[in-house]
Chains A and B, each alone.
Chain A
Amino acid sequence: MKSLNELEEIRKRALESVNLRKDREGTRVVVGMGTCGIAAGARPVLLAFLEEIKKRNIQDVTVTQTGCIGVCRLEPMVEVYRPGEEKVTYIKMTPDKVKRIIAEHIVNGRSVTEYTIGAEEK
């Protein structure tokens, strides 16, 4: 160890792996993983989120699952909670949609309206 900077490099790298155990204030992505969700393909959606987050090295995002969100015909469903904002619910999710949600909503804070539950109901 030669300097504080070198230590800081290690710290930054290591922080990613323990961040989950610190205060959870960042964005939360919740994937519906009830029986219907899994049958409708929720698992590939979940994996796509993990893959994208890893690829883009995004900090402060947690990905969790929940049971059936309740509207089985719209599964797979995903809810995105950003601190201080209304929850956004995406429906009929696919791995392709995940990329856009990450890029536009998670990173830039603009939800992808056409994928949301609101768009479907209109």
Chain B
Amino acid sequence: MEFYRAHVLVCGGTGCTSSGSTDIIDKFNDELQKHGLQNEIMVVRTGCFGLCEVGPIVIVYPEGAFYSRVEIGDVPEIVSEHLVKGRIVTRLLYHDSITEEETIKSLDEVGFYKKQMRLALRNCGVIDPENIDEYIAFDGYKALGKALTEMTPDQVIDTIKESGLRGRGGAGFPAGLKWEFTRNAVGDKKYVCCNADEGDPGAFMDRSILEGDPHSVLEAMTIAGYAVGADQGYIYVRAEYPIAVKRLTIAIAQARQYGLLGKNIFDSGFNFDIELRLGAGAFVCGEETALMASIEGRRGEPRPRPPFPAVKGVFSKPTLLNNVETYANIPQIILNGPEWFRTIGTEKSKGTKVFALGGKINNTGLVEVPMGTTLREIIYEIGGGIPGGKEFKAAQTGGPSGGCIPAQHLDTPIDYDSLTQIGSMMGSGGLIVMDEDNCMVDIARFFLDFTVDESCGKCPPCRIGTRRMLELLDKIVSGKGEEGDIEKLELLAKNIKASALCGLGQTAPNPVLSTIRYFRDEYEAHIKEKRCPAGVCQALLRYIIVAELCKGCGLCAKHCPVEAISGERRKPYTIDTDKCIKCGLCMEKCPFNAIIKK
């Protein structure tokens, strides 16, 4: 084997791939060839480093130099300066990775990573996900070997139960219990499934794990198969995740070649294999009963439970279903023991949680923190705060099923139960930050619009009820809200939650309810004063010329397409709000910023 003196790690996650990292890899290989360095320096395509915002990202070891926003034109310089002469190209380093003395900080010292704890993401951005040897080098498949050769299925289940691991797909059901139910269910054949549907808008946690560390999921599913007595696994992944699908396909082939999938694994007599099932990308197919119907090739519609999948799942056989991130934790728990896992997190929520941080935040990206970390730490320390010095207003967790967390709860330690208590939920891990410029009614409308679109239509409360709610919200944001609308929303919400067939409908009203709970005054301003306090809802906006600032140049009047502005030269102009069509042109054109919208 060659001894490589340096490794160039280039992010091959979806974010960086779309900003050109594939070309950057090619360019590195070309340039290394040119300098005759191809046998000394290795180029590795990894999964997501989490800081997608400043991608494409390149990390050079052994120095650990963290280059961000690398363009193809920068590659020759990195090669000739850093790799040939050992001079780090400081101007390309991620701003927060350099100390005041201009030396490189180690990655755990960088603000973005300092408070993070990467368990599920431990290999993302570290290994080449298309090379099983690199996974094995970082203790991969050792947990499987241990389970198959040293543990009984019951011991495996006890370990998972003791660890306190709860499902990361949304509801937070204890994983070990689910494994036990499936083991105890009677059936001549059983299945193990992985939910990689990830349909929440803005979520990309599971995708990143599959792209960056696909073997961890394969290993965990195989362990689960041994524990519950299944010999067949299915990964249900959306076809819109082409990179994840490709890496999974490669990983499955490599695992089969090494005999880590297939017959008689670790000479234990245990057989297990995994197949992919591609989903078409309907949100409802993430719901477990719909997902199983879809795996069988039927239409992805939910059915009433019980029977639960553990009793009657895929092809009516007992089936274990867990989320990608839930699985990604399993090998570590087997290797390090349940006691170790229990030391991380809060009393009732053990371990870590991955969040996709988005919205009004400086470091958009993927973060993993111990349960119990506060929202303030995530937003201000890891996320680097809100751009433009704006005021924090709320964070939305749990996507279309969740709710918002207002400023007064910034210091709540985040775990399953605390989030439910304050009217939101953990969900799968989308975390969208909103500032003073976000209108909460508009946010609620956005999520409800999503669920109305994604409702499968099978049950009336969801199909019709959520549409009625959306109509009410539309009315409010367009300035036609009436006294009593808020109460109507609340009543509809209550009934839908109680009567919808599946989780999609049952949770769809949550974003509306939680925004009413914390921002009722904003709803009232829309309804009673026909005013949008955040200045978002177009229909409620008014363009006004501030007389003290207006110099009377007349530019605005010239550009107004509907001649709504009038006035005399050198005197303040005025806008006729009845004629105004709110195009905003005047505001753009005024050289003195005399026009405001309110």
Inter-chain CA distance A87–B63, complex, in Å, is 18
- Chain B min CB distance to A96 (Å): 19
Q: Is the CB of A50 within 8 A of B266?
A: no
* Residues B138 and A64 in contact, CB atoms below 8 Å apart: no
A50 to B4, alpha carbons, bound, how many Å? 8
A11-B136, A18-B137, A54-B2 as given contacts; A34 in contact with B62, CB under 8 Å = no
- Which of A7, A28, A38, A63: most chain B CB closer than 10 A? A7
A53 at the interface (CB under 8 A from B): yes
Whether A111 is near chain B, meaning CB under 8 Å from some CB there, is no
In the complex with contacts A31-B86, A50-B5, A10-B267 CB distance below 8 A: no
B340 in the interface (beta carbon within 8 A): no
Q: Which residues of the other chain, A, contact B265 by a CB distance below 8 angstroms?
A: 1
Instruction: Tell me the bound Cα distance from A14 to B64 in angstroms.
Output: 20
Closest CB of chain B to A83's CB: distance in Å? 14
- State the CA gap A7–B147 with chains docked (Å): 14
User: What is the minimal beta-carbon distance from A42 to any residue of chain B, in angstroms?
Assistant: 9
A2 to B141 alpha-carbon distance, docked (Å) = 12
Cβ of A38: which chain B residues have Cβ within 8 Å of it? 85
Q: Which of B126-134, B434-442, B474-482 contacts A (4 or more CB under 8 A)?
A: B126-134
By a CB distance below 8 angstroms, the chain B residues around A50 are: 3, 5, 40
CA distance in complex: A7, B136 (Å): 8
CB distance from A76 to the nearest CB of B (A): 13
CA distance A28 to B127 in the complex (A): 23
Point out the residues of chain B lying under 8 angstroms from A11, CB to CB.
136-137, 139, 142
B86 touches A64 (CB 8 A): yes
Judging by beta carbons under 8 Å apart, are B6 and A20 in contact?
yes
**B259 near A: Cβ within 8 Å?**
yes
Query: In the complex, are the beta carbons of B62 and A1 less than 8 A apart?
Result: no
CA distance A46 to B127 in the complex (A): 26
Asked if B7 and A20 make an inter-chain contact with CB atoms under 8 angstroms apart, the answer reads yes
CA distance A65 to B42 in the complex (A): 16
* CB–CB B127/A18 < 8 A: yes
B149, A17: Cβ atoms closer than 8 Å: no
> Is the Cβ of B6 less than 8 Å from the Cβ of A64?
yes
Asked if A120 is an interface residue, CB under 8 A from chain B, the answer is no
Cβ of B259 and Cβ of A7 under 8 Å apart?
no
Which of B61, B84, B146 has most chain A Cβ within 10 Å? B61
In the complex, chain B residues whose CB is within 8 Å of the CB of A17: 1, 4, 42, 133-134, 137
Decide if the interface of chain A is mainly helix, strand, loop or mixed: helix
Tally of chain A residues near chain B (CB < 8 A): 33
Of A1, A10, A50, A65, chain B has the most CB atoms within 10 Å of the CB of A1
Cα separation A39 to B137 with both chains bound (whole Å)? 39
Residue of A nearest to B138 (CB): A18
Within residues 34 to 72 of chain A, which ones have a CB less than 8 A from any CB in chain B? 34, 38, 46-47, 50, 53-54, 62-67
Q: Does A119 contact B (CB under 8 A)?
A: no
B258: interface (CB < 8 Å): yes
Contact mask for chain B residues 57-94; partner A; CB cutoff 8 A; 1 contact, 0 none: 00001111000000000000000000011110000000
A64 touches B63 (CB 8 A): yes
Closest A residue by C-beta to B85: A33
Q: List chain A residues, Cβ under 8 A from B258.
A: 1, 10
Contact status A21-B9, CB under 8 Å: yes
Residue contact A16 to B62, C-beta cutoff 8 Å:
no
B interface majority secondary structure: loop
Counting CB contacts under 8 A, is B220 at the interface? Answer: no
A3 at the interface (CB under 8 A from B): yes
Say whether B404 faces chain A, with CB atoms less than 8 Å apart.
no
In the complex, A66 Cα to B62 Cα: how many Å? 13
Contact A62 B1 (CB under 8 A): no
Asked if B3 and A54 make an inter-chain contact with CB atoms under 8 angstroms apart, the answer reads yes
Asked whether, in the complex, the Cβ of A66 is within 8 Å of the Cβ of B134, the reply is no
A13 within 8 A of B: yes
Q: Which residue of chain A has the shortest Cβ distance to B62 in the bound complex?
A: A62
**Residues of chain B with a CB closer than 8 A to A62's CB:** 5, 62
| Cross-chain contact A4 with B266 (CB below 8 angstroms) | yes
Residues in B with CB closer than 8 Å to A54 are 1-3
Q: Does B260 contact A (CB under 8 A)?
A: yes
A102 → B minimal CB distance (Å): 12
A residues in contact with B2, CB < 8 Å: 54
List the B residue with the shortest CB-CB distance to A53.
Answer: B3
Residue pair A10, B136 in contact (C-beta under 8 Å): yes
B residues near A4, Cβ cutoff 8 Å: 142, 145-146, 149, 266
Interface residues of B in 101-148 (CB under 8 A from A): 126-127, 133-134, 136-139, 141-142, 145-146
Complex alpha-carbon distance, A65 and B41, angstroms: 13
Closest Cβ of chain A to B492, distance in Å, is 54
CA distance A97 to B42 in the complex (A): 27
Q: Does A15 contact B (CB under 8 A)?
A: yes
B residues 259-281 near A (Cβ < 8 Å) are 259-260, 265-267
Q: Is A24 an interface residue (CB 8 A)?
A: yes
Tell me if B267 and A3 are in contact (CB < 8 A): yes
Closest to A62 in B: B62
Separation of A70 and B300 alpha carbons in the complex (Å): 70
Q: Nearest-CB distance from B543 to chain A (Å)? A: 56
Chain A nearest CB, measured from B10 CB (Å): 13
Q: Point out the residues of chain A lying under 8 angstroms from B146, CB to CB.
A: 4
Contacts of B42 in A (CB 8 A): 17
A27 CB to nearest chain B CB (Å): 11
CB neighbours (8 Å) of B1 from chain A are: 13, 16-17, 54
With beta carbons under 8 angstroms apart, the residue of B4, B40, B149 that contacts A3 is B149
Q: Which of B265-303 contact A (CB under 8 A)?
A: 265-267
State how many angstroms separate the Cβ of B40 from the closest Cβ of chain A: 6
17 A-B residue pairs with CB within 8 Å: A1-B141, A4-B266, A7-B136, A14-B133, A14-B137, A16-B3, A17-B1, A17-B133, A18-B127, A18-B137, A20-B62, A21-B7, A24-B62, A28-B62, A50-B40, A67-B85, A67-B86
List the interface of chain A (C-beta within 8 A of B). Answer: 1-4, 7, 10-11, 13-18, 20-21, 24, 28, 30-31, 33-34, 38, 46-47, 50, 53-54, 62-67
